[in-house]
Amino acid sequence: MTARIGVVTFPGSLDDRDTRRAIRLAGAEPVALWHKDKDLKQVDAVVLPGGFSYGDYLRAGAISRFSPVMGTVIEQARAGLPVLGICNGFQVLTEAHLLPGAMLGNDHLHFICRDQKLRVENASTAWTSDYSEGQEIHVPLKNMDGRYVADAYTLDKLEAEGRVAFRYLDVNPNGSLRDIAGITNEAGNVVGLMPHPEHATEPLIGTGRTDGLPFFTSILKKLVTA
């Protein structure tokens, strides 16, 4: 049976269709989920895509955290449902306290859009197992509020437990503490990152590479072998 991966659309989501396409390219069935619905349609995993949910009017991801669909996502994520948050989705995950820390405005106060070099720090999560630890990849990055911050205790805990999933290389594009580009929860089923792997799945788009596709093949293999 084909794995079903839900992609939530909030008002202001920009990359939901790109994410569904990436899921289809990996061999899974993308399922559109609407922010007002509590029903996840029996999906096997969920992706919170990039964009500017609810216009970021209060704070990036802050309003989405209280949308009806997130009540179900939070409950099921805590029960083990794999959840990936990309860019704005990462912001939503921190606001929902499924991942620690917070996202603030870029330290240079400008929107940034560039191809970004990353190092894979944790290749054992549900979303990163098709990578190798230490692997260097290139993935597009576009954000205004991409600066990851947390207190020293939380940062030390993330480092000690191997929960930094990705780190910026060559340049820190937004001032994120310890060059953190993405993190995971303790169980490894919830991952959030600022760069956009869905824009690096085909040679003709994004970086011209397919470095982002393993996110979606990783979860497919996880679901097939579960």
Q: Name the residues annotated as catalytic.
A: 87, 196, 198
- The phi-psi region of residue 186 (left if phi > 0; otherwise alpha if psi is between -120 and 50; otherwise beta) is alpha
The residue type of 133 is E
Task: Give the span between the Cα atoms of 164 and 195, in whole angstroms.
Answer: 14
Give the H/E segment covering residue 182.
strand 180-184
Token pair belonging to 84: 């990936």
Partners of 112 in beta bridges: 143
Residue 6 Cα distances to 24, 41, 81, 122, 181, angstroms: 11, 8, 11, 24, 23
